[in-house]
């Protein structure tokens, strides 16, 4: 019986990371299988990178194996199925893991000591800032498929609405279709704080339902215009949704602390009654009268500052942002921008950042095409480009980063230049924003606000061309043009 690709990848990944017992948790994002490793010294890094189907490996707080979109969810689900748990659940320790892994590794003592030293250094560099960034990413990564689906549905609704407004189409049936599509889209965006609250509670170790309630508190359900609650900082009235997801994440972090402390001191017989009640009452009051006003000031100032930089900086700001985004993706830091995008959409109806940052992926596409044209004899490279290019055009750049441009070095730099050129074009046009997050590249076109899709398309083409020319003339290493076979 032929072994399926996802079965083989799951098995081989486990083999190269020290066995199932050396993995404490498995999750995934759009392209990466993310594993928490118990003993870093047992990971055979070079063998892991050499697995057929693995496009790259990132060492961060967790071990991230890039296998590409579509494949990643199959591999991750197969991996948790093999150990009998669900995605994100703790994996039991296999008592035979250590001896088996050591026996297979064949490492000499000196190599083992070196690996242990590296692992210790990695833990030493596990700074509070890195842990905070990881937590933010963990909150939003599971929501990306929802953002993609709901965002595209909302984009379709916006296109039909524009056609109705322009008189290109007419009829009650179209109006009904728009209404239904918006209802589906709003299932995510109207109640987004609740979903964020649930995910944040899971990340911080609080009861997930309590996190959802904290997210629901910011809607101020029950407050009436006749009897508004005061904003103690401005002297005005509190506004539903004030503080957005920034306030929700902070409030859920606090309720996790309170709940854990109460569990230690409240007798077990009444813990189920007292702990959630006190936790919700204390953090709920704090959220309404302190966190919401303060988070509202912070988020409003942040969105205003970004919009100001983009409006004043124009093409220069666009170039810097477009060129800098690929390194952020490389280090896995791009997810931390999600709260900023969402806050901008909530506040202004669109995010001006996303179309500019999407140019980074377009620069990579141009670079990959240039490599394809100049490296025809390198069958291994061109085959990899053929597989990674379609998803790169759709805005998922990690296969191109880790499989093509980054390993070659110079093409990664020239791809960044292409992204900067596209970002400069978007910045020069100004006012090009997206109404939702999730897709990028060509897939972002339906989500461009206010009918400015043509400006976004011109930016994409500029990034393609910039990445292509910079790579074709300056970014192709000689070794990349050497003949290889598959």
pLDDT in tens, 68-80: 877 888 899 899 9
Residue 167 has pLDDT above 50, yes or no: yes
Q: Which of 233-237, 444-448, 482-486 has the lowest mean pLDDT?
A: 482-486
**Best-predicted range by mean pLDDT among 23-27, 303-307, 402-406?**
23-27
Kindly indicate the confidence band of residue 112, based on its pLDDT and cuts at 50, 70 and 90.
very low
Q: Give the H/E segment covering residue 57.
A: strand 56-59
Is 29 an annotated catalytic residue?
yes
Beta-carbon neighbour count of residue 263 at 10 Å? 12
Kindly indicate the confidence band of residue 98, based on its pLDDT and cuts at 50, 70 and 90.
very low
Catalytic residue among 29, 400, 413, 421: 29
272 or 95, higher pLDDT: 272
Kindly indicate the confidence band of residue 245, based on its pLDDT and cuts at 50, 70 and 90.
confident
Q: What is the chain's mean pLDDT, rounded?
A: 84
102 or 177, higher pLDDT: 177
Spacing of C-alpha 248 from chain mean position: 18
Kindly indicate the confidence band of residue 99, based on its pLDDT and cuts at 50, 70 and 90.
very low
What are the chain's domains? 5-84 (3.30.1360.60), 150-305 (no CATH), 322-481 (no CATH)
Kindly indicate the confidence band of residue 433, based on its pLDDT and cuts at 50, 70 and 90.
very high
pLDDT in tens, 123-164: 555 567 667 767 776 787 677 677 767 777 877 887 788 788
Kindly indicate the confidence band of residue 100, based on its pLDDT and cuts at 50, 70 and 90.
very low
Question: According to the model, what pLDDT value does residue 119 have?
Answer: 52
Beta-carbon neighbour count of residue 374 at 10 Å? 16
pLDDT in tens, 53-66: 888 888 877 899 99
Question: According to the model, what pLDDT value does residue 122 have?
Answer: 53
Percent of the chain with pLDDT over 70: 89
Q: What is the DSSP string of 367-420?
A: HHHHHHHH-TTBHHHHHHHHHHHHHHHTT--HHHIIIIIHHHSHHHHHHHHHHH
Question: According to the model, what pLDDT value does residue 251 have?
Answer: 95
Name the CA dihedral angle for 288, 290, 296, 297, rounded to a multiple of 10 degrees. Answer: 160
Distances in whole angstroms, Cα of residue 249 to Cα of each of 8, 141, 189, 198, 396: 38, 15, 16, 10, 27
For residue 225 the two structure tokens come to 């215009």
Kindly indicate the confidence band of residue 315, based on its pLDDT and cuts at 50, 70 and 90.
very high
Rounded to whole angstroms, the Cα distance separating 120 from 39 reads 10
Residue 378 has pLDDT above 50, yes or no: yes
Specify the 3-state DSSP secondary structure of 231: coil
């Amino acid at each position: 019986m032929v072994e399926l690709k996802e079965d083989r990848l799951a098995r081989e990944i486990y083999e190269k990371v020290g066995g199932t017992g050396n993995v404490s948790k498995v999750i995934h994002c759009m392209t990466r299988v993310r594993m928490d490793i118990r003993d870093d010294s047992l990971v055979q890094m070079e063998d892991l990178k050499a697995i057929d189907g693995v496009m790259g490996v990132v060492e961060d707080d967790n071990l991230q194996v890039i296998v590409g979109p579509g494949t990643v969810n199959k591999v991750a689900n197969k991996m948790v199925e093999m150990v009998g748990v669900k995605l994100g659940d703790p994996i039991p320790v296999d008592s035979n893991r250590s001896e088996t892994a050591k026996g297979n590794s064949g490492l000499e003592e000196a190599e083992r000591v070196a690996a242990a030293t590296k692992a210790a250094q990695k833990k030493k560099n596990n700074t509070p800032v890195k842990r905070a960034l990881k937590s933010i990413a963990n909150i939003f990564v599971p929501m990306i498929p929802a953002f993609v689906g709901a965002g595209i549905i909302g984009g379709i609704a916006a296109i039909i609405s524009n056609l109705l407004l322009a008189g290109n189409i007419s009829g009650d049936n179209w109006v009904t279709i728009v209404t239904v599509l918006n209802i589906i889209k709003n299932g995510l965006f109207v109640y987004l704080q609740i979903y964020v609250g649930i995910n944040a509670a899971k990340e911080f170790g609080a009861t997930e339902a309590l996190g959802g309630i904290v997210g629901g508190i910011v809607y101020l359900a029950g407050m009436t215009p006749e009897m508004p609650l005061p904003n103690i900082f401005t002297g005005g009235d509190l506004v539903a949704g004030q503080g957005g997801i920034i306030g929700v994440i902070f409030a859920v972090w606090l309720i996790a602390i309170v709940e854990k402390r109460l569990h230690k001191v409240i007798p077990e017989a009444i813990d189920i009654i007292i702990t959630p009640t006190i936790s919700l009452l204390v953090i709920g009051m704090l959220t309404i009268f302190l966190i919401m006003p303060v988070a509202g000031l912070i988020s409003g100032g942040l969105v205003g500052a970004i919009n100001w930089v983009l409006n004043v900086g124009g093409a220069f700001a666009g170039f810097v942002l477009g060129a800098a985004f690929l390194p952020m993706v490389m280090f896995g830091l791009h997810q931390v921008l999600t709260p900023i995008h969402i806050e901008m959409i909530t506040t202004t109806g669109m995010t001006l950042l996303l179309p500019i940052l999407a140019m980074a992926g377009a620069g990579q596409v141009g670079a990959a095409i240039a490599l394809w044209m100049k490296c025809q004899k390198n069958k291994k490279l061109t085959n990899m480009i053929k597989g990674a290019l379609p998803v790169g055009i759709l805005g998922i750049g990690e296969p191109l980063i880790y499989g093509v441009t980054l390993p070659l070095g110079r093409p990664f730099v020239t791809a960044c230049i292409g992204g900067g050129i596209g970002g400069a074009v978007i910045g020069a046009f100004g006012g090009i924003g997206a109404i939702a997050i999730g897709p990028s590249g060509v897939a972002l076109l339906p989500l461009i606000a206010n009918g400015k899709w043509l400006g976004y398309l011109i930016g994409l083409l500029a990034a393609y061309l910039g990445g292509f020319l910079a790579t074709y003339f300056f970014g192709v290493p000689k070794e990349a043009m050497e003949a290889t076979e598959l």
